[in-house]
Structure 1
Amino acid sequence: MKFFNFHLMPYRHADLDAIQKNGSAWVTFSNAHYDPALGAELYHEYLDQMEYADQLGFDGVCLNEHHQTAYGLMPIPGVLAGALARSVKRAKIAVLGRALPLVNNPLTVAEEFAMLDNLTRGRFIAGFVRGIGAEYHAMGINPAESQARFAEAHDLIVRAWTEPGPFSYMGKHYQFQYVNPWPRPYQQPRPPIWVPSQGSSSTIRWAAGLRYTYCQTLSPIATVKKFFDMYREEARKAGYEAGRDQLAWSNCIYVAETDERAMAEARPHLEALMTRLLKMPMEMLLPPGYTNIEAMKRIKATRAVGAKPQSVEDLVKSGLVIIGSPSTVREKLAEYEELAGFGTTLTKTQFGTMPDGMVRANMQAIAQEIIPHFKDAA
């Protein structure tokens, strides 16, 4: 199994009571709550943590893209990936991912990612997403055009990477007389493409058809298994057997000396993530036109069941997070690996309001007590 350190880079100094009164940490939570001095320190703290992950032996580090939210301070993940491209010496750098429908010129993403691929000498992983519904409120993009804009932007970027230019491109949403980006990617014919999703059947079908690595976002392990099984079935329909390296699970892991101590230490920070930073109303998560009726019914049903905030114990029991002593974490991760059949764990070692000292101790424990067990088993 490969271990990637996935950082959300939250504004961990956020006033949680103010978020609760506002109803969400997204879009409508005033940026008057952002202190630039604290924010600047956080950026350096988080970049230092990513560099530490490389030094500890993690296989990769992951960034992502969100807008107008205290949940994550990465509206332009390429800026942070560029800062890491020379300081992270060994691990891969993944942007999981760029929200393609939000950009009016997909060629800028093709250029940005090709630069990162050159700077890392081929250690770059390109992630493509549609972006969650809140991003469409933040960026003023019609959510009804999301899927079409995503498909067209993806096709244009891949052609720009793999087809010598100049050539013209005339689509519905994007038109270019000249497509001829410099530089070309370092990896040939292109960087690997990973596709994170909350479990959209159309996204899973599309990713499997193109043999892209599918990344399931933070979800209970039973849900992870269901969607990974769906990917494997779609791969068979496409004429091949999907390998474990094509499936990655995003999770939170926290390790301490005992189960009791791990739960006590992780609890406030996990609660901050789940009940404050992730919270948003349905109309923000699923704006009209963003998804089809079947998917909306499924998501509403799921949210109705879990409308009341879950306890940390419930989150652990469902396998959404793994918290405990080294032996407990090893046991649970091995159990989930066998159940769902994934080859990569995208692990949030920092979550919610967790301070730097705790994060580093957690990273070190994972590197020393967890990763070697799975490397030796392989």
Structure 2
Amino acid sequence: MKFVFFHLMPYPYLPDDFDERYSSPSLTFPNKHFDPQLGTQLYHRYLDELEHADRLGFDGIGVNEHHQTAYGLMPSPNIMAAALARRTERAQIMVLGNAIGIRGNPLRVAEEIAMLDHLTNGRLVSGFVRGIGWEYFGHSINPARSRDRFNEAHDLIIKAWTSDEMFQWISPNYEFRYVNLWPRPLQQPHPPIYIPGAGSTETMRFCAEKRYTYMSVYAPTPLVGRWFDGYRQAAAELGYTPEPEKLGLSIPIFVAETDEEAHRAARQHLTWLFHKGLKQGPEIMFPPGYMSQSSMRGLLMSGAKPFPELTYEEIITGGMALVGSPDTVIARIRELQEQLGFGQLIGLFSIGDMTHEETVRSMELFAANVIPAVRALGTQEAMAAAP
């Protein structure tokens, strides 16, 4: 199994009256609540944690893109990847990913990822995301054009990476008279591509057709199981069986010496993540036209509670977080892997308003005790030997 240390880089210093006064930390939450001095400290702290994950032996260190939100302070994940490129040595640097649907110039993404591939000596993973509904509002783009813009931007980037001659690109959303990428990527034909999915049947099919890695977002285990099954079914219809590493389970993780200590500390931080960071109503998450009718129907029929309504106990029992001693987390990973069949675990260790010291202790316990115990899970050999 492959283990990824993923970071959201949240801004945890929300006002005391946040719950009463503000409907979300995103889009309309006033930036007067951002303290530049605290922000500077956070950026350097978070980069320290990502670099430490490389030293601890995580297979990948992941960053992502969000705009106009306290939920994640990375409007440009490529800048963070560049900051990590020369200060890490072994782990893949995983941009999970660039929101190409809201980019006015996808060629800039192609150029920057190609540069990063060289700066990392071929350790780069390129993720593509559509961007969340509110990010289309924040960029004055009709969210009903999200899927088309994403698909066209993706196709343009792939062709720019793989063509060795200049070409012209004219499509409904983008027009470039000259496409002649310098530099070309180091990895050939291009860096590995990861796509997160939240139940969209179009995304499952897209990943299966391209044989990309499909990542879950935070959701109850039965719902993630349906998503992974949808990806596997789409692959089966195309005549192949995806290897477990093509499925990545994204999940918050908190490890302490004992179960009691872990739950006592994690309750506050997971509550911050789900009740404050993920306090985003459907009107800004899924505006009209953002999802197809079939995907929206599946979302509505899932029966999943809105994140802010979940109790801490529901978060744990629903499989939306791994919390406990190393032995407990090992046992839970084995259960989830047997149930879901994933080959990558994409862990959020810096959860909500956690301190740096708590984050480091949790990731060190995980790296020293959990990774060696479950490393063999999720391989083709292990899956073949399973009942």
TM-score range for the pair, normalised by the shorter chain length: over 0.9
What is the match of residue 351 of structure 2?
A: 351
TM-score (norm 2): 0.95
Deviation, 1:189, is 0.8
Task: Give the direction of change, closer, same or farther, for the CA distance of 1:370–1:355 in structure 2 (3 Å limit).
Answer: same
What is the match of residue 363 of structure 2?
A: 363
**Residues 222-259 of structure 1: CA deviation (Å, up to 9, x unaligned):** 11221111111111111111100110010011111211
Code of the residue aligned with 1:70 in structure 2: it is: A
CA distance in 2, matches of 1:60, 1:217: 17
Code of the residue aligned with 2:361 in structure 1: it is: A
Q: Any conservation in 2 of the 1:255–1:362 contact (CA below 8 Å)?
A: yes
What is the match of residue 5 of structure 2?
A: 5
Question: Where does structure 1 lack aligned partners over 5 or more consecutive residues?
Answer: none
Q: Any conservation in 2 of the 1:19–1:29 contact (CA below 8 Å)?
A: no
Deviation, 1:304, is 6.7
Q: How is 1:76-225 mapped onto 2 (pairs within 5 angstroms)?
A: 76-225=76-225
**Residues 28-70 of structure 1: CA deviation (Å, up to 9, x unaligned):** 1000000000000000000000000000000000001000000
CA distance in 1, matches of 2:150, 2:16: 34
> What secondary structure does 1:273 align onto?
helix
Question: Where does structure 2 lack aligned partners over 5 or more consecutive residues?
Answer: 380-387
Q: Any conservation in 2 of the 1:6–1:62 contact (CA below 8 Å)?
A: yes
CA distance in 1, matches of 2:273, 2:118: 35
Q: Any conservation in 1 of the 2:274–2:308 contact (CA below 8 Å)?
A: no
Q: Any conservation in 2 of the 1:20–1:276 contact (CA below 8 Å)?
A: no
Code of the residue aligned with 1:74 in structure 2: it is: M
Code of the residue aligned with 1:374 in structure 2: it is: V
Deviation, 1:375, is 2.4
CA distance in 1, matches of 2:376, 2:140: 49
Q: How is 1:55-74 mapped onto 2 (pairs within 5 angstroms)?
A: 55-74=55-74
Code of the residue aligned with 1:168 in structure 2: it is: Q
What is the match of residue 50 of structure 1?
A: 50
Q: Any conservation in 1 of the 2:255–2:324 contact (CA below 8 Å)?
A: yes
CA distance in 2, matches of 1:376, 1:169: 45
Deviation, 1:198, is 1.0
Deviation, 1:94, is 0.7
Code of the residue aligned with 2:154 in structure 1: it is: H
CA distance in 1, matches of 2:53, 2:259: 23
What is the match of residue 322 of structure 2?
A: 322
**Residues 69-116 of structure 1: CA deviation (Å, up to 9, x unaligned):** 000000011111100011111000111111111111110000010011
Code of the residue aligned with 1:133 in structure 2: it is: G
> What secondary structure does 1:253 align onto?
strand
Code of the residue aligned with 1:294 in structure 2: it is: S
Between 186-195 and 17-26, the greater mean CA deviation after superposition: 17-26
CA distance in 2, matches of 1:121, 1:20: 48
Code of the residue aligned with 2:111 in structure 1: it is: E
TM-score (norm 1): 0.97
CA distance in 2, matches of 1:287, 1:225: 25
> What secondary structure does 2:52 align onto?
helix
Between 250-259 and 25-34, the greater mean CA deviation after superposition: 250-259
Deviation, 1:138, is 1.3
Q: How is 1:256-335 mapped onto 2 (pairs within 5 angstroms)?
A: 256-302=256-302, 305-306=305-306, 309-335=309-335
Code of the residue aligned with 1:314 in structure 2: it is: E
CA distance in 2, matches of 1:24, 1:300: 21
CA distance in 2, matches of 1:352, 1:342: 25
Code of the residue aligned with 2:287 in structure 1: it is: P
Deviation, 1:338, is 1.0
Q: Between the two proteins, what is the percent identity of the paired residues?
A: 46
CA distance in 1, matches of 2:196, 2:147: 15
Task: Give the direction of change, closer, same or farther, for the CA distance of 1:295–1:38 in structure 2 (3 Å limit).
Answer: same
What is the match of residue 336 of structure 2?
A: 336
Between 311-320 and 44-53, the greater mean CA deviation after superposition: 311-320
Corresponding pairs, count? 378
**Residues 102-143 of structure 1: CA deviation (Å, up to 9, x unaligned):** 111110000010011010011000001111111111111111
Code of the residue aligned with 2:13 in structure 1: it is: H
> What secondary structure does 2:47 align onto?
helix
